[in-house]
Amino acid sequence: MDVLAGVRPAVKKRLATLGLRTIGDLLRYRPRRYESAAPERRIADLFGDEDVAIAGEILSVSERRRGRLKILTARVADGSGTISATWFNQPWLTRQLQPGRHVRLRGRPGRYGFDVKSFDLNGVVATADFAPVYPASEEVTPKKLREVVGQALVHARDLPDPLPAELKQREGLPLRADALWALHRPRSEREAEQGRRRLAFDELLALQLGLLRRRRGEEDAVAPALDAPEELVGRYREALPFELTPDQEGAITEIDADLGRTAPMQRLLQGDVGSGKTVVALYALLRAVEAGYRGALMAPTETLAEQHFLTIEELCRRIGVSVGLLTSSVPKGQRDTGASILVGTHALIQEGIDLSNVAVAVIDEQHRFGVEQRKALAEGRVAHTLHMTATPIPRTLALTVYGDLAVSEITHPPAGRKPVVTSWVGQEKSPEAYRRMRSHLEAGRQAFVICPLIAESETIEARAAEEEAERLRRAELHGLRVGCLHGKLPPRERRELMGRFKVRELDVLVATTVIEVGVDVPNATIMIVQEADRFGLAQLHQLRGRVGRGSEQSYCLLVSRAKDELTDSARARLDALVRTTDGFELAEADLEIRGEGQLLGTRQSGFSDLAFTKLRADRALLERARAAAAGLLDHEGPLDDEVERMFHDADVAA
Instruction: Point out which residues bind Mg ion (CB under 5 A).
Output: 278
DSSP letter at 40? B
| Contact status: 245 vs ligand ADP (CB under 6 A) | yes
Piece in contact with ligand ADP (CB under 6 A), picked from 242-250, 351-359, 396-404, 578-586: 242-250
Which of 73, 118, 127, 275 lies at the binding interface for ligand ADP (CB under 6 A)?
Answer: 275
Q: Is 279 in the site for ligand ADP (CB under 6 A)?
A: yes
- Cα–chain-centroid distance for residue 449? 26
The partner in contact with residue 445, picked from Mg ion, ligand ADP, none with C-beta cut-offs of 5 to 8 angstroms by kind, is none
The entry of ligand ADP, Mg ion, none near residue 414 (CB within 5 to 8 angstroms by kind) is ligand ADP
- Asked if 295 touches ligand ADP (CB under 6 A), the answer is no
526 contacts ligand ADP (rule: CB under 6 A): no
Are 484 and 564 spatial neighbours (Cβ–Cβ below 8 Å)? no
Give the binding range for ligand ADP (CB under 6 A) out of 241-249, 322-330, 369-377, 487-495.
241-249
Smaller CB separation from ligand ADP, 279 or 377: 279
**Shortest-Cβ-distance residue relative to Mg ion:** 278
Residue 587 interacting with ligand ADP (CB under 6 A)? no
Distance CA 192, CA 12 (A): 27
Q: Out of Mg ion, ligand ADP, none, which partner does residue 301 contact, by CB within 5 to 8 A per kind? A: none
Query: Which of Mg ion, ligand ADP, none does residue 248 bind (CB under 5 to 8 Å by kind)?
Result: ligand ADP
Q: Which of 31, 229, 271, 394 binds ligand ADP (CB under 6 A)?
A: 271
Which of Mg ion, ligand ADP, none does residue 106 bind to, with CB < 5 to 8 Å depending on kind? none
Q: Which of 335, 549, 624, 626 binds ligand ADP (CB under 6 A)?
A: 549
Q: Least Å distance between CB 275 and ligand ADP?
A: 4
Helices (H), 555-648: 568-579, 583-599, 602-605, 619-630, 639-646
* Cα 463 to Cα 483: distance, rounded to the nearest angstrom: 14
Q: Which is nearer to ligand ADP, 38 or 410 (CB)?
A: 410
Ranges of H-type helices in 291-340: 302-318
| Shortest Cβ 279–Mg ion spacing (Å) | 9
CB of 415 to ligand ADP, least distance (A): 7
Nearer to Mg ion, 224 or 548 (CB): 548
Q: How far is residue 18's CA from residue 281's CA, in Å, rounded to a whole number?
A: 45
Q: DSSP secondary structure string, 177-188?
A: HHHHHHHHS-SS
Nearer to ligand ADP, 269 or 450 (CB): 269
Contact between 525 and ligand ADP by CB under 6 A: the answer reads no
Position among 242, 262, 431, 651 found at the interface with ligand ADP (CB under 6 A): 242
Indicate the residue among 273 and 477 with the shorter CB distance to ligand ADP: 273
Distance of CA 635 to the CA centre of its chain: 31
Q: Which one, of 39, 35, 37, 72, lies nearest residue 55 by Cα?
A: 39
377-406 residues in contact with ligand ADP (CB under 6 A) are 390
Alpha-carbon distance of 66 to 85, in angstroms, equals 16
In angstroms, give the least distance from the CB of 549 to ligand ADP: 5
591 and 456 in contact (C-beta within 8 Å)?
no
CA distances from 536 to 362, 549, 566, 574, 616 (A): 26, 22, 14, 9, 21
According to CB under 6 A, which one of 520, 582, 623, 649 is a site residue for ligand ADP? 520
229 binds ligand ADP (CB under 6 A): no
244 binds ligand ADP (CB under 6 A): yes
3-state secondary structure of 42: coil
Q: Is 252 exposed, middle or buried (0-12, 13-18, 19+ CB in 10 A)?
A: buried
Spatial contact of 556 and 547, defined as CB atoms under 8 Å apart: yes
Nearest to 369 by CA among 606, 134, 546: 606
Q: Which does 73 bind (CB under 5 to 8 A by kind): ligand ADP, Mg ion, none?
A: none
Q: Is 31 exposed, middle or buried (0-12, 13-18, 19+ CB in 10 A)?
A: buried
Dist CA 72 CA 97 (whole Å): 10
Cβ proximity to ligand ADP: between 417 and 495 the closer is 417
Query: Pseudo-torsion of CA 454, 455, 457, 459, nearest 10°?
Result: 30
Residue 304: contacted member of Mg ion, ligand ADP, none (CB under 5 to 8 Å, by partner type): none
Buried b (16+ CB within 10 A) or exposed e, 9-22: eebeebbeebebee
Closer residue to ligand ADP, CB minimum distance, 195 or 274: 274
Residues at the site binding ligand ADP, with contacts judged by CB under 6 A: 242-245, 248, 271, 273-279, 390, 414, 520, 549
